[in-house]
Structure 1
Amino acid sequence: MNIPLATGSGTPAGTPAGTPAGTSSGITAAAPSSPAGLATLPRPASDEFDAVVQQGAYMPLTQFGVIDVTGDDAASFLHGQLTNDTQHLDAANARLAGYCSAKGRLLASFLTWRSGETIRLLVSKDVQAAVQKRLSMFVLRAKAKLVDASGELAVVGLAGDVRRALSSVFDALPDGVHVKVDGAAGSLIRVPDALGRLRYLWIGPKAAIEARLPSLDGKLKRVSPAVWDWLDIRAGEPRITQPVVEQFVPQMVNFDVLGAVNFRKGCYPGQEVVARSQYRGTIKRRTSLANVVGELDTVKAGAELFHSDDPGQPCGMVVNAACAPEGGVDLLVEIKLAALENGSVHLGAADGPALRFLQLPYGLPTEV
C-alpha cells in the first residue's frame, strides 16, 4: 500500500479551538430500555416476510430521521467531518458514511445524497438529535446549516419484485446500488440487495408520498418497518444506533468493505486512528452475520458476546438485531476474528444462547 498514513498533530480535524482531543463526544450510549431509544417493534407476521421474498412489499420507515445540510459550504463542511467524500458527491449517486469521535469510534452512520443544493443525511432516529447538535458545533465560520427535515419528509423502503409498481411513480429506476433518480415524488435510491431481492429507499415530501402510497396497495403488500431492519442485517449493512455509539472503529463494522470510508480524502475527526487500523494490519475484529434463539426483549444491540473457551471477558458485541422469519433473531455482531476459529460464541454469558453463524453476502479482506 503506497498511500501514506496521515500523521497530523495537535487537535483533530473538526474539533473546536480549546477542545481537548480526548473530550467525550457528548453522544452517550443509552441502556436498551432508555425511553430515548428506538421503540422495539413487534415481530412481523410470517406473511410479511413472505411478501418480500415471494412478491414485493413496501414499508414506511419510522426508525430513520433526515438531516438537511444547506449553504454554500455544505459539501466542504461535511467533507471535513465524515468518513466519506461529500465534496464530489454528485446528483446521481448516494454514499454511505460514518461520523467518528476524535478516537475514531463511530457516533453515527449515514446514507448521504444530494437533493438540489441540499445534502441529505439519513440516520437512525435515536441518535439524530445528538449528532445534529454535535455537527452544528463544528460549523464555526462555514456557510452551512443543519436542519431536522424528518417532519417534512417520508422515508419508505421497498423490497422484492417492486420495479413495476415503482414505474408508476418514477419515470426511470436506479440500475445500480447507490444510484439515485429524482422525480416529482422525491428521490429513489437503490440500496444493497438482501437475499437476492432488490431494495430501494424512497424519500420525499410527506404529502407527495402519502398521496401515491395508495396506488401501491394493489400491487405490493404493506409490511412492518421491522422487516427492513431484518433486510439490512441480511444485506450485511450495520447501522449505528444509540446502544452502540462510540463502540466501533469503522473497519470493525465492515465500513471499509461497504465503501463508507474514503482513505484518500482529507482529514476528519478520528482519521488517524481509522487510517492506522487500515494500513498497519491492526484489524482484528470484524462484523459477522448470525442467528440466535430469542426475541428482541432480550436480544438487543449492545449486548456482549462470550466465547466458550474464555468466559471471563467478552469477545464481541451485538451491532444490530431483528426478528428472523424462521424464528429467533438475526444479528450483525462485531467479534474478534480469533473467536470464529473454534469453540462456540454465546449471547450474554458463556452459558447463554449459542450463536449460529451465517454467510455474509460479501467477502471480507484477509487480515495479516
Structure 2
Amino acid sequence: MTAAPASPPEDTPLSPALSGAVPLADWGLIRARGADAVTFLQGQLTNELASAGATQARLAGYCSPKGRLLASFVAWQASGAEDWLLACSADVLPPTLKRLSMFVMRAQCKLSQADDVALWGLVGAAAQQWLGTDLAAPAWGVSRVKDAQVVRLPDVDGTVRCLWAGPADQAPAQLPALSPQAWQVLEVRSGVARIVAATSEAFVPQMVNFELVGGVNFKKGCYPGQEVVARSQYRGTLKRRGALLATQAPMQAGQEIFLASEPEQPAGQIALAASADGQGWEAFAEVKRAALAGELHLGSAQGPALQVRALPYAVPQDEA
C-alpha cells in the first residue's frame, strides 16, 4: 500500500438510497447491422460475441496492431441477430467508427452512429420499479422492456446499475435525477475501464484488468493486436495492473502517476476519474505493480499524494 496522505480522504460510502437515472452524455452508440455483423465484429474485438444471443451483452476492446486499446465497448443485440449496438465513450466514437469502417470491405455489415437511440444510466430501486423487471440477474445480462434493451452492469458496493438503450420518447426521464458525478463514481469504483480519448492507445488490456472483468476471450481467434495481448497473458510477467486511487485533488483521465522514489519517469496513468460528492476524487488507473508498495503522487513526484483503495475483484498475485 502507498503511504497515506497527510489528510487522507475518507472512503466515501455510497448511499443505500442512491437511485435514479441519468442521460449518458459522455457515451455514444455504434450500430452494426447486416448478415455478417457478428462475423465482422468477431474479427475485430477482443471478446467472443457469437454465443451471446439476445440475453447477454459482452464487454470488449478494440485494439491497435500493437495490442493497445483504441476503444472499449459494451456490445449487445438490439433487434435481432443481425443488429448490434456497441456503447463506448463519445469522444472516441468518431475515429473508432471511421477505423472500423475501413475493414468492412465486402462483408454484409453496415456501421453507423446510432443517433436514434437514447442511452441512459439507471441505478437502484427506483430503476427496478420503473422497469418492472428483476435486476438481480448476473452482470452483462440483457432484458427487453418495450422497445428498449436493458444491460445489467456489475454492482458497485451493492448498488444495482444498468444501461438503458431505446427510443427517446420512452426514456426514463420521470425517474429521480441522478447526477453525472454519481454515475461516474460508480463507474470508477467498478474497476471496469472505459477507454476515452485521453487514454486511447495507452493500455494493453491486461494493464487495466480488462481480462479479469470479462473483456477478453483468449480462445476466440484472431483480431487486431491479438498476438500482443496473448503474449502479455501467457509470458507470466504482467508488471502493470489497474488500481483504485483516491486524493483530495482533482484528477482526470490521462494524468500521469509518479512514485516518490522514481521522480524521473511515470509509474502509471489515470484511466477514469470522478469527483466523489465534494469528498475528494477517485480514479481507476494503470499502475506499475511494484509501485503500489511505495508513495504514489499525482502529476509529479511532488504532487498530491494518492491513496490505494481495494478493488471489487481479485487480482492474481503470482503473475508479476
TM over 0.5: yes
Q: Which residue of 1 aligns with 2:303?
A: 352
2:232 and 2:59 map into 1 onto residues whose CA distance is 19
CA 63–77 in structure 1, closer or farther in 2 if over 3 Å, else same: same
Does the 8 Å CA contact 2:73/2:86 hold for their aligned counterparts?
A: yes
Equivalent in the alignment of 2:254: 302
User: Structure 1 residues 345 and 144 mapped into 2: Cα distance closer, same or farther (>3 Å)?
Assistant: same
Alpha-carbon distance change, 337 to 55 in structure 1, aligned in 2, over 3 angstroms: closer
AA partner of residue 317 (structure 1)? Q
Pairwise CA distance, 1:52: 5.3
Report what 1:81 is aligned to. 44
Q: Does 1:95 align with 2:48?
A: no
Q: Of 51, 58, 77, which residue of structure 1 is paired with 2:21? A: 58
- Residue 252 of structure 1 pairs with residue 207 of structure 2: yes
Indicate whether 1:158 and 2:110 are aligned.
no
The 1:266/1:292 distance shift into structure 2, 3 A limit, reads: same
Q: Size of the alignment, in residue pairs?
A: 306
Separation of aligned partners in 2, 1:85 and 1:358: 31
Quote the RMSD (CA, aligned, Å).
Answer: 1.7
Q: 1:213 aligns with which of 131, 149, 173?
A: 173
Conserved? CA contact 2:181–2:277, under 8 Å: no
Q: What corresponds to 2:4 in structure 1?
A: none
Identify the range of structure 1 (182-191 vs 268-277) with the bigger mean alpha-carbon deviation.
182-191
Residue 163 of structure 1: CA displacement? 5.2
Matched, 1:276 2:231: yes
Q: Distance in 2 between matches of 1:327 and 1:76?
A: 46
- Is residue 322 from structure 1 mapped to residue 286 from structure 2 by the alignment? no
**Identical-pair percentage:** 45
CA contact (8 A) 1:80 1:268 kept: yes
- Residue equivalent to 1:128: 93
Which residue of structure 2 lines up, in the alignment, with residue 194 of structure 1? Answer: 156
For 1:184, the equivalent position in structure 2 comes to 146
How big is the shift at 1:305? 0.8
The Cα offsets for residues 329-353 of structure 1, whole Å up to 9 and x where unpaired, read as 1001101000012x30000110000
Change (3 A) 1:52 1:160: farther
Matches within 5 A, 1:10-21: none
CA–CA separation in structure 2 for the residues paired with 1:173 and 1:345? 38
**2 CA distance for matches of 1:325 and 1:172?**
29
Q: Are 1:340 and 2:292 an aligned pair?
A: yes
- The one-letter code of the counterpart of 2:173 is L
Counterpart of 2:64 in structure 1: which amino acid?
S
Cα drift, residue 68 of structure 1: 0.5
Question: Post-superposition shift, 1:328?
Answer: 1.7
AA at the equivalent of 1:225: P
Structure 2 Cα separation of the partners of residues 170 and 139 of structure 1: 39
Tell me the equivalent position of 2:112.
147
Structure 1 runs, 4 residues or longer, greater than 3 Å off: 49-53, 169-174
Whole-angstrom distance in 2 between the partners of 1:173 and 1:360: 23
Report the Cα distance in structure 2 between the residues aligned to 1:147 and 1:329, rounded to whole angstroms: 35
**Residue type of the partner of 1:279?**
Y
Q: Distance in 1 between matches of 2:199 and 2:232?
A: 20
**Deviation per CA, 1:233-260, whole angstroms, max 9, x where unpaired?**
1111111000011000000010110010
Checking the alignment, whether the CA contact within 8 Å between 1:52 and 1:159 is kept in structure 2 is no
Task: Tell me the amino acid that sits aligned with residue 288 of structure 1.
Answer: A
Asked if structure 1 preserves the Cα contact closer than 8 Å seen for 2:244 and 2:310, the reply is: yes
CA-CA distance at 1:54 after TM superposition: 2.2
Q: Once the 2 structures are TM-superposed, how far is the Cα of residue 226 of structure 1 from its aligned partner?
A: 2.4
Aligned partners of 1:136 and 1:146 also within 8 Å = yes
| Residue deviations 1:27-58 (CA, integer Å, cap 9, x gap) | xxxxxxxxxxxxxxxxxxxxxx9995324221
Distance 1:52 1:110, change over 3 A: farther
> How big is each residue's C-alpha offset from its partner over 1:155-181, in whole Å with a ceiling of 9 and x where there is no partner?
111122235523xx3455461111111
Letter aligned with residue 193 of structure 1:
D
SS at match of 2:186: helix
Query: C-alpha separation between the residues in 2 aligned to 1:170 and 1:73?
Result: 34
CA distance in structure 1 between the partners assigned to 2:266 and 2:206 by the alignment? 19
Q: Which amino acid in structure 2 is aligned with residue 261 of structure 1?
A: V
Hey, what does 2:198 align to over in structure 1? 243
The 3-state SS of whatever aligns with 1:193 is strand
Match of 2:103 among 115, 119, 138: 138
Cα distance in 2 between the residues matched to 1:311 and 1:190: 42
Question: How far, CA to CA, are the matches of 2:135 and 2:236 in structure 1?
Answer: 40
Q: Distance in 2 between matches of 1:55 and 1:286?
A: 30
Amino acid at match of 1:183: V
